């Protein structure tokens, strides 16, 4: 693997297709879960820079632990708080607040580190700029070393890999695949107090469609359509109750409007998942990437109840990151 920005980076010459490549990566991650230090020598003498332009708990720490399990040193730089304000626009006249151009900073980071991992968020104001993935693409263009996305303007691939690892664990242990031909996996919009990025929902849809293991349904209020680039292949409905019927997994997430970019039209609390709604499902496991606004996005009764697997899901972030870092180190 040369970089990890989207699901498409998972494809290897030896895998027959994307679904098989994803399955191989899942198996690698689950093997690391059983034996975290199996490849302790792989990263010896290697150094990774984790560059944050936005806050993080899970992504930052799980990637650091994953690097350590592979014997690789990880150095964290909160560039938004501790670094010079970076300029990303080509040809910018830097007479404003930005101090250092990415074309000067990124090659230096490439000298210090064997690989770079970057977290950026979208502005949710400039759709064209966000969709062009300007920030992470400028790092890729100028760093000269492999780049891993720790969430970018439109995608969160490490989260999505974690999510399908977690689903696969349940499919294996609970033998859901014996009960039904295909598990039903539902991505449902949930209320929130402010407009949020589309990254987690986009990526989850992109990975689910590429993986092809389940019947995949997306439900959201009218006007909350995601970019078809990510959702194509999924069944989409405005009727949440209908979507939840017989679901085996429910992925809960808020996102802002995409067409009229970055807005929050409504915050209908009826869309929050409750035990009453859970009763419509096939005793579904409930997932969320976290952090979550309790009793806005997800109810206490769900989060503290037996169907929530959010902690196990977040724990699996380590194994997803370790599998990806291992693939990149092996390719170097
Ligand atoms: N899910 C996730 O990316 O969490 P953090 O923002 O805490 O890294």
pLDDT 10s digits, 259-315:
999 999 978 999 999 999 999 999 999 999 999 999 999 999 999 999 999 999 999
Within a 10 A sphere around the Cβ of 154, how many other Cβ atoms? Answer: 23
Cβ proximity of 292 and 303 under 8 Å: yes
Cα-to-centroid distance, 151 and ligand 1 (Å): 9
Longest CA–CA separation in the chain, Å? 63
Cα-to-centroid distance, 148 and ligand 1 (Å): 15
**Cα dihedral sign, 213-29-197-4:** negative
On the question of pLDDT at 44 being above 70, the answer is yes
Query: 105-157, pLDDT tens digit by residue?
Result: 999 999 999 999 999 999 999 999 999 999 999 999 999 999 999 999 999 99
Query: 177-195, pLDDT tens digit by residue?
Result: 455 668 999 999 999 999 9
User: Atom 1 of ligand 1 has which residue's CA nearest to it?
Assistant: 289
Cα-to-centroid distance, 96 and ligand 1 (Å): 31
Best substitution site from 198, 289, 313 to test ligand 1's pocket, by max atoms within 8 Å of Cβ?
289
CATH no. for 7-155+317-331: 3.40.50.1370
Q: What's the mean per-residue pLDDT of the chain?
A: 96
On the question of pLDDT at 16 being above 90, the answer is no
Cβ proximity of 75 and 48 under 8 Å: yes
Rounded mean pLDDT of 75-88? Answer: 96
On the question of pLDDT at 209 being above 60, the answer is yes
Fold of 159-315: Rossmann fold (3.40.50)
Q: 317-331 and 58-69 are packed helices; what angle lies between their axes, rounded to 10 degrees? A: 50
Tell me which residues have their CB closer than 6 angstroms to ligand 1: 56-60, 151, 159, 289-291
CA dist., res. 284 & res. 225, Å (int): 24
Query: 306-326, pLDDT tens digit by residue?
Result: 999 999 999 999 999 999 999
**pLDDT value at residue 194:** 95
User: Atom 7 of ligand 1 has which residue's CA nearest to it?
Assistant: 57
Domain ranges of the chain: 7-155+317-331, 159-315
Determine what percent of the chain is predicted with pLDDT higher than 70.
98
- Preceding omega of 291 cis (within 30 degrees of 0): yes
Mean pLDDT lowest among 17-31, 157-171, 175-189: 175-189
Cα-to-centroid distance, 72 and ligand 1 (Å): 22
On the question of pLDDT at 253 being above 80, the answer is yes
- More confident position, 13 or 171: 171
**pLDDT value at residue 176:** 52
Rounded mean pLDDT of 237-249? Answer: 98
Cβ proximity of 286 and 308 under 8 Å: yes
Rounded mean pLDDT of 28-44? Answer: 98
Q: Which helix (H) or strand (E) holds 253?
A: strand 249-253
For residue 137, give both structure tokens: 């693409």
**pLDDT value at residue 53:** 96
Rounded mean pLDDT of 70-92? Answer: 96
Cβ proximity of 231 and 255 under 8 Å: no
CA 80 to chain centre: 21
**Cα dihedral sign, 194-195-199-202:** positive
On the question of pLDDT at 175 being above 80, the answer is no
Cα-to-centroid distance, 316 and ligand 1 (Å): 12
Cα of first residue to Cα of last residue in the chain, in angstroms, is 9
**CA distances to 2, 35, 317 from 68, in Å:** 20, 14, 14
Q: Where are the alpha helices (DSSP H) in 274-316?
A: 275-278, 300-303, 310-315
Q: pLDDT band for position 161 (50/70/90)?
A: very high
On the question of pLDDT at 174 being above 90, the answer is no
CA dist., res. 3 & res. 69, Å (int): 20
> 172: which residues sit within 8 A by CB, 6+ positions away?
none
């Amino acid at each position: 693997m040369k970089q990890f920005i989207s699901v498409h980076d998972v494809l290897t010459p030896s895998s027959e297709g994307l679904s098989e490549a994803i399955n191989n990566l899942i198996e690698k991650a689950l093997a690391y879960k059983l034996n975290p230090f199996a490849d302790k020598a792989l990263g010896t003498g290697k150094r990774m820079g984790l560059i944050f332009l936005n806050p993080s708990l899970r992504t930052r720490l799980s990637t650091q632990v994953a690097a350590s399990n592979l014997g690789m040193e990880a150095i964290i730089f909160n560039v938004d708080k501790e670094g010079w304000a970076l300029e990303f626009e080509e040809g910018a006249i830097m007479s404003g607040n930005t101090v250092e151009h990415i074309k000067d900073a990124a090659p230096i980071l490439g000298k210090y580190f064997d690989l770079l991992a970057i977290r950026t968020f979208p502005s949710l104001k400039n759709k064209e700029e966000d969709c062009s993935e300007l920030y992470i693409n400028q790092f890729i263009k100028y760093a000269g070393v492999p780049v891993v996305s720790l969430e970018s303007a439109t995608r969160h691939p490490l989260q999505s890999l974690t999510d399908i690892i977690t689903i696969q664990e349940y499919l294996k242990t609970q033998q859901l695949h014996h009960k039904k031909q295909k598990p039903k996996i539902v991505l449902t919009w949930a209320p929130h107090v402010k407009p949020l990025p589309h990254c987690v929902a986009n990526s989850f849809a992109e990975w689910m469609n590429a993986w092809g293991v389940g019947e995949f349904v997306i439900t959201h209020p009218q006007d909350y359509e995601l970019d078809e680039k990510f959702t194509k292949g999924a069944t989409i409905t405005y009727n949440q109750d209908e979507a939840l019927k017989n679901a085996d997994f429910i992925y809960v997430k808020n996102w802002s409007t995409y067409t009229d970019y970055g807005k929050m039209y409504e915050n209908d609390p009826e869309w929050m998942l409750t035990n009453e709604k859970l009763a419509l499902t096939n005793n579904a496991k409930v997932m969320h990437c976290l952090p979550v606004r309790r009793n806005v996005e997800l109810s206490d009764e769900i989060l503290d109840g037996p169907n929530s697997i959010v902690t196990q899901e977040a724990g699996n972030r380590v194994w997803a990151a370790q599998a990806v870092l291992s693939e990149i180190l092996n390719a170097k």
